[in-house]
Amino acid sequence: METRSKLIPSDKVVGRTVLSANGQAIGKAVGLLIDLDDWRVADIEVLLNRDMAKPLGLRKGMFRPPTIRIASSAVQSVADAIILARSIDALRAQLSAGSEPEEAGPAVH
């Protein structure tokens, strides 16, 4: 029987703090986007901390901070927090270039 010890339920990921590669808290994971072709997590939706919109080159929302999508390939590890393999500067450069991570906008309920 195959052991699958590296699996984690999605409800254990959502709500965790997301940290940049240099340890700065950028927000909380609010969702996972699944690629239906291969049933793998493609992106993590991150609700930014209020003070992170400007450093990432985004406009603050009037009532809530923006939500961005970060490719799962940008995740270094998941433990008590989700640690990215990218710094704030690298994330800002990707957002301004229009590549991953992309701005997700408000979540649809």
Tens digits of per-residue pLDDT, 15-66?
Answer: 999 999 999 999 999 999 999 999 999 999 999 998 998 899 888 777 888 9
Amino acid at 91: L
Is pLDDT above 70 for 6?
A: yes
Q: What are phi and psi of 98, to 5 degrees?
A: 80, 10
Domains in the chain, please, with CATH?
10-97 (2.30.30.240)
User: Mean pLDDT of all residues in the chain?
Assistant: 85
The pLDDT, as a whole number, for residue 83 is 97
* Mean pLDDT confidence for 88-107: 67
**10 Å Cβ neighbour count for 49?**
16
Structure tokens at 109: 């309920």
The pLDDT, as a whole number, for residue 104 is 52
Q: What are the DSSP calls for 29-75, one per residue? A: EEEEEEETTTTEEEEEEEEE-GGGTTTTT-PPPSSS--EEEEEGGGE
The pLDDT, as a whole number, for residue 95 is 82
* Mean pLDDT confidence for 57-83: 90
Q: For the stretch 5-15, what's the b/e string if a residue is b when 16 or more beta carbons lie within 10 angstroms of its beta carbon?
A: eeeeeeeebee
Structure tokens at 74: 């940008």
